[in-house]
Chain A
Amino acid sequence: MHCINHLKTSTASLVLLLLLFMLSTATAQKVDQATREENNKCLSCHSKRVLTFTSDSLGKTYKQKMYTDCIIDTTLYYTSNHFNFKCIDCHSSDYEIFPHNAQLRFEELPGCLDCHGDDPTYADYHFEKIQEEFDQSVHSSKHSGQFTCWSCHNSHYYKINARDRNQNLKQTIAYDNAICLSCHSNYDNYRLYVDRLNPNVTKTHDWLPNQANHFQSVRCIECHAKVSDSLLVSHQILPKSQAVKKCAECHSANSRLKASLYKLKLSKPGMFSDRNIGDAVLIGSPRSTTVDLLGNLLIILTAAGLIFHMTMRIITRKKTVKHD
């Protein structure tokens, strides 16, 4: 069991690293020089794996490994959405004193609403609605207090994902699923919220046909979150018992994916694709109304033609027999 968890952790880490690499290749944004200089005070230590410090009283220099969670990848940070933030915009300015005060670990970090609440600039994002949905989600009801925005959205590397249509759908899906898997496929992170082993995601989804293909083609939230009318990405994660298990809920003309994943309007309407499903293939939800109608029309016309032919044969045969 430990081996399996270790393997899952490694896989999740690999996925996360890959995503972080993809993000790191993004165009660097223009960071204020003042912000950079201010942040360098922290990052001179927190961007390194090994910390070097000198004790004034003992006059000795020490080397210590930095805790992994305290290391900031500056490239990723300065390409994230919050790239122009100073560390002390969110963290206490008391951190400027080293060694840091142990009480600082109890600091309350700001959530999304603390900055974005009632801000007309971000009205499109509906942060209040996100909070409302999150409050009703299983993450909030089961792990209230401990579970915050930052439990899913990495505070230092967060980037717009679903709204960024410069990236292809697979990237959006991989990014989103990596968020869920960072706990659900990672024993250590899962234990931050639950005192038991995390279930093996592959095993719990054994029933899902073409499992790998599903995992690459849809996000976890497609089945595990309530479809939201007003949000681009639903934040009301449902309890396991309410997860979608009926194939036809997605694989039908009235697919629930239309109100979730395909809300992203992945393709321009055209004759061969008037449903905004990008390059996805969703059996049960034909991509083109025109092709669909034409196909059905051809079959109906064929059947009608044959019935007409048969009727004509019967009529002309009767006439011939009568004539004879």
Chain B
Amino acid sequence: MTEKVYHYAIWIRLWHITNALLFLTLIVTGFSMQYTSPENPLIPFEVSTTLHKIAGIVVTFNYLFFLIGNYVSNNGRHYKIEFKGVITPILKQVRYYAMGIFKGEPHPFPVNRERKFNPLQKATYIFAMYFGFPVLSVSGLLLAFPSIFDILGISSLIVADVIHVLIGIVMTMFMLIHVYFCTIGHTPVSNFKSMVTGFHDVEE
């Protein structure tokens, strides 16, 4: 017996789809910029830099929208940082993904009215949203507007460049994992449907 729980308010879904599209644009243009060639560009350099810059600025505002949304609604509780007693549940979840899922074991932390994310999801989302994203955003803005460096009195862009590329790779990995793990629902597409309708199928 399943029940439909309204887990994703309209503002979350709007933020999420905007974020997903912008992030995809950033990944594609980012890779195109990194591996461009005058003869065979994936996307012409001028186009990829402009798109990357615009998408980067919009995604930053979208991120601010997410922060404000979390602050004014109760969605922020799902991103509450806790250090005590988190390791064991995370390991339990890792064990499930590594072995239990292949044996048909039940999900150790199923979604319910109160719990939207399992412990591993929560940890990675907190890392992505409260560390990866702001670092990527700030380093990206510094690279897009290097004159900020003059104001700050820092002569080199290297730090921003290295950090932006490294965190960009980590966030690309996050994106791949995130999309794949969304196929682990009641059906391979049920989690995607939830992000459209707002309702999540919950076992009663």
Tell me the A residues contacting B by CB distance below 8 Å.
209-210, 212-213, 246-249, 251-254, 272, 279, 281, 283-284, 286-287, 291, 295, 298-299, 302-303, 306, 309-310, 312-313, 316, 320
The complex places the Cα of A247 from the Cα of B43 at a distance, in Å, of: 12
With beta carbons under 8 angstroms apart, the residue of A213, A287, A302, A316 that contacts B147 is A213
Distance between B167 CB and nearest chain A CB, rounded to angstroms: 11
User: Residue B166 at the A interface, CB < 8 A?
Assistant: yes
Chain A residue nearest to B27 (CB atoms) is A299
Bound form: Cα–Cα A213–B155 in Å: 12
Given contacts A247-B46, A302-B177, contact A252 B36 (CB under 8 A): yes
B165 is an interface residue with CB less than 8 A from chain A? yes
Chain A nearest CB, measured from B185 CB (Å): 12
Interface size on B, residues (CB 8 A): 36
Question: Digit string of B172-188 for contact with A (CB within 8 Å is 1, else 0)?
Answer: 11001100100110000
Asked whether, in the complex, the Cβ of A246 is within 8 Å of the Cβ of B38, the reply is: yes
A320 nearest in chain B by CB position: B104
Q: Which B residues form the contact surface with A (CB < 8 A)? A: 33-38, 41, 44-46, 49, 97, 101-104, 143, 146-147, 155-158, 160-162, 165-166, 169, 172-173, 176-177, 180, 183-184
Classify the secondary structure of B's interface with A.
helix
Task: Find chain B residues with CB under 8 A from A286 CB.
Answer: 34, 165
Our count of residue pairs bridging A and B at CB distance below 8 angstroms stands at 86
Q: In the assembled complex, how far is the CB of residue B196 from the closest CB belonging to chain A, in whole angstroms? A: 22
Cβ 8 A contact of A283, one of B44, B49, B104, B173: B49
Minimum Cβ distance to chain A for residue B127 (Å): 15
What would 5 A/B residue contacts be, using CB atoms closer than 8 Å? A251-B33, A279-B158, A284-B35, A287-B158, A295-B169
For the complex of A and B, 6 pairs with smallest distance between CB atoms: A316-B102, A281-B157, A248-B38, A295-B169, A247-B45, A248-B45
Q: Which residues from A are CB-within-8-Å of B104? A: 316, 320
What residues of chain B lie closer than 8 Å to A302, measured between beta carbons? 173, 176-177
Query: Chain A residue with minimal CB distance to B172?
Result: A299
The reply to whether B36 and A248 contact each other, CB–CB distance below 8 Å, is: yes
| B118, chain A: closest CB distance, angstroms | 16
CA distance A251 to B183 in the complex (A): 38
Shortest distance between the CB of A75 and any CB in chain B (Å) = 28
Q: How far is the CA of A248 from the CA of B155 in the complex (A)?
A: 25
Contact A291:B166 (CB < 8 A) given known A281-B161, A303-B176, A320-B104 = yes
Closest CB in chain A relative to B55 CB, distance in Å: 15
Contact B180 A309 (CB under 8 A): yes
- A298 to B172 CA separation, bound complex (whole angstroms): 10
Q: A248-B41, A283-B33, A306-B176 are contacts. A298–B158 as well, Cβ < 8 Å? A: no
